[in-house]
């Protein structure tokens, strides 16, 4: 059995998301009854779109990492916990003992919940099951128990489906992605924080009246408010912050202009890639609807995808780019913080994207919510760093030189991980029982009160939600 699971994990590691996802999409589309030619074209189109998305994200990653390193160098900042980035976190998760089991466990949980009527999400984003394995690996590091780690990973799979269902209507309305949901823990973690903070902002005179969504910005500022120009301006500002003290003024100007143009390209190209992705998803969504309607009447099934499909929206990118210098400033001024940011600043769009439906794309509110989320994340990361590092060592990950501990913004900052680990530390196996009761209790309450829950998550469609 272990050899079979090891082989499956090796295949997933080797293929990566851009190859694995089209294969999974093709198989699922065929099972759902789509014609072979249409299913094949849809799968290839989705794979191409994700390659394009990853290329653009890579461009953003390189530029933001360079800016962050320049700012850190300028400040002389020293910290004990080094941000190694999400690729390292994914490698640690899949390389852990839980990573061996997470794919069959994640698929099994999804199937059971679908047939049990506890979810409407068919999660095809198999590669991102590593998020479940990561939490499980922390539980193993805290408890020394592999079964508890696997159980924790299964609970995270269930939690991701709950978040996906809760946010589906809001995501579909705001981002224009019908038939899609997002079972991505790193993105969904902002949901309760965003709902509470948005509620508070609505009750603050003056602040509640400021509407800085990208459409309003474009109307007020004309060409300066267009997404591509906003990317250029934000990139120039970030470049000036990072490279102002370069020895050569000419070299400084070159770096600033390159940063501005590259981030302008990100703002223009990411939405185009997401449109290609949606073109590929249409046949799969239609086949899923027809399949379900034949067997379960009007019951709706959403295709669960990576939150990469969301970050092409100008509100997500703009707020994330504004949060980059804020994140670096927070790492400097927060008392007790031991995290230094390097590799993962480019994932901030993933962190804030799910707040957009709740705030209707208000960039100011998204920046406020993102700032609070990052503050929580810094302290979570500081507290979880020893376990993160222990899990990395157990997975055979080589620590960077001069790093006492490591983390990443994606899962190292995840408050969900901290809650699970602390319950396990305090209550052992019963801590996971508490987590299970909380998750499935929330699912039960959600389906009994779908309208109000979906409205809080930005659905903007109360009547449709109430009628389900």
> Concatenated DSSP letters for 232-266?
HHHHHHHHHHHHTT-S-HHHHHHHHHHHHHHHHHH
Q: Which two tokens stand for residue 355?
A: 């707040």
The structure's pTM equals: 0.81
> Model confidence over 414-442: pLDDT tens digits?
999 999 999 999 999 999 999 999 999 99
Mean pLDDT: which of 37-41, 68-72, 308-312, 426-430 is highest? Answer: 426-430
Mean pLDDT: which of 46-55, 154-163, 238-247, 390-399 is highest? Answer: 154-163
Q: What is the pLDDT of residue 420?
A: 95
> Model confidence over 163-177: pLDDT tens digits?
999 999 999 999 888
Task: Please give the span between the terminal C-alpha atoms of the chain, in angstroms, as a whole number.
Answer: 42
Long-range Cβ contact pairs of 447-454 (< 8 A, separation 24 or more): 447/118, 453/166, 454/166, 454/168, 454/169, 454/170
Q: What is the pLDDT of residue 465?
A: 38
pLDDT over 70 for what percent of the chain?
89
Q: What is the pLDDT of residue 148?
A: 95
Strand partners, 405: 81
Q: What is the pLDDT of residue 15?
A: 64
Q: What pairing do the DSSP bridges indicate for beta strands 81-83 and 121-123?
A: unpaired
Q: What is the pLDDT of residue 293?
A: 62
Residue pair 144/136 in contact by the 8 Å Cβ criterion: no
Strand partners, 407: 83
Tell me, what DSSP letter sits at residue 402? T
pLDDT at 200 over 60: yes
| CA 124 to mean position of chain CA atoms | 15
Least confident of 164-173, 242-251, 357-366: 242-251
Mean pLDDT: which of 16-20, 54-58, 239-243 is highest? Answer: 239-243
Q: What is the pLDDT of residue 33?
A: 79
Cα dihedral: 447, 450, 454, 456 (round 10): -110
Average pLDDT, the chain: 83
Buried b (16+ CB within 10 A) or exposed e, 196-229: ebbeebeeeeeeeeeebbbeebbeeeeeebbbeb
Residue pair 231/263 in contact by the 8 Å Cβ criterion: yes
Residue pair 382/338 in contact by the 8 Å Cβ criterion: yes
Helix (H) or strand (E) holding 180: strand 180-181
Tell me, what DSSP letter sits at residue 280? H
Least confident of 36-40, 234-238, 340-344: 340-344
How far is 350 from 348, CA to CA, in rounded Å? 5
Instruction: Name the residue with higher pLDDT: 214 or 456.
Output: 456
Alpha helices by DSSP H, listed for 297-362, are 314-333, 348-352, 356-359
Tell me how crowded residue 172 is: count the other CB atoms within 10 A of its CB: 18
3-state secondary structure of 385: helix
Q: Which two tokens stand for residue 48?
A: 């191409």
> Model confidence over 250-305: pLDDT tens digits?
888 888 898 889 888 887 887 788 778 777 777 776 776 677 666 655 677 888 88
pLDDT at 41 over 70: yes
How far is 356 from 362, CA to CA, in rounded Å? 7
E strand intervals along 330-423: 339-340, 405-407
Q: What is the pLDDT of residue 426?
A: 92
């Amino acid at each position: 059995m272990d050899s079979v699971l090891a082989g499956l994990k090796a295949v997933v590691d080797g293929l990566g998301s851009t190859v694995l996802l089209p294969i999974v999409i093709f198989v699922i589309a065929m099972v759902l009854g789509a014609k072979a030619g249409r299913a094949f074209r849809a799968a290839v189109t989705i794979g191409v779109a994700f390659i394009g998305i990853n290329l653009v994200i890579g461009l953003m990653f390189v530029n933001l990492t360079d800016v962050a390193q320049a700012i850190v160098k300028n400040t002389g900042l020293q910290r004990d916990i080094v941000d190694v980035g999400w690729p390292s976190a994914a490698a640690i998760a899949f390389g852990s003992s839980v990573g061996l089991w997470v794919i069959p466990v994640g698929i099994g949980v999804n199937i059971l919940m679908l047939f049990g009527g506890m979810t409407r999400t068919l999660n095809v984003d198999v590669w991102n099951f590593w998020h479940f394995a990561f939490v499980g690996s922390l539980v193993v590091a805290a408890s020394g128990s592999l079964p508890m780690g696997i159980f924790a990973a299964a609970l995270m799979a269930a939690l991701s489906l709950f978040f996906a269902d809760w946010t589906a209507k809001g995501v579909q309305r705001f981002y224009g992605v019908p038939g899609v949901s997002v079972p991505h823990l790193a993105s969904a973690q902002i949901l309760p924080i965003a709902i509470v903070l948005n509620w508070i902002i609505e009750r603050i005179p003056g602040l509640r009246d400021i509407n800085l969504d990208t459409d309003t910005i474009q109307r007020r500022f004309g060409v300066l408010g267009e997404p591509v120009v906003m990317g250029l301006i934000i990139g120039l500002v970030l470049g000036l912050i990072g490279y102002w003290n370069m020895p050569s003024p000419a070299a400084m100007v070159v770096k600033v202009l390159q940063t501005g143009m590259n981030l302008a390209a990100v703002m223009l190209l990411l939405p185009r890639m997401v449109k290609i992705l949606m073109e590929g998803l249409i046949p799969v969504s239609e086949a899923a609807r027809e399949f379900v309607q034949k067997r379960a009447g009007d019951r709706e099934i959403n295709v669960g995808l990576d939150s990469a499909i969301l970050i092409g929206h100008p509100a997500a990118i703009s707020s994330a780019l504004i949060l980059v210098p804020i994140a670096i400033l927070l790492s400097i001024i927060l008392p007790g913080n031991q995290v230094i940011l390097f590799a993962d600043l480019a994932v901030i769009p993933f962190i804030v994207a799910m707040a957009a439906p709740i705030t209707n794309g208000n960039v100011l509110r998204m920046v406020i919510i993102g700032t609070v989320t990052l503050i929580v994340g810094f302290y979570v990361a500081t507290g979880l760093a020893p376990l993160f590092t222990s899990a990395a060592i157990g997975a055979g990950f080589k620590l960077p030189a001069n790093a006492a501990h490591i983390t990443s913004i994606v899962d190292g900052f995840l408050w969900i991980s901290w809650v699970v680990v602390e319950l396990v530390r305090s209550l052992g196996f019963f801590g996971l029982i508490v987590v299970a009761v909380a998750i499935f209790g929330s699912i039960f309450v959600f389906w009994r009160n779908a309208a109000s829950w979906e409205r809080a998550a930005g659905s903007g469609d109360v009547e449709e939600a109430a009628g389900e």
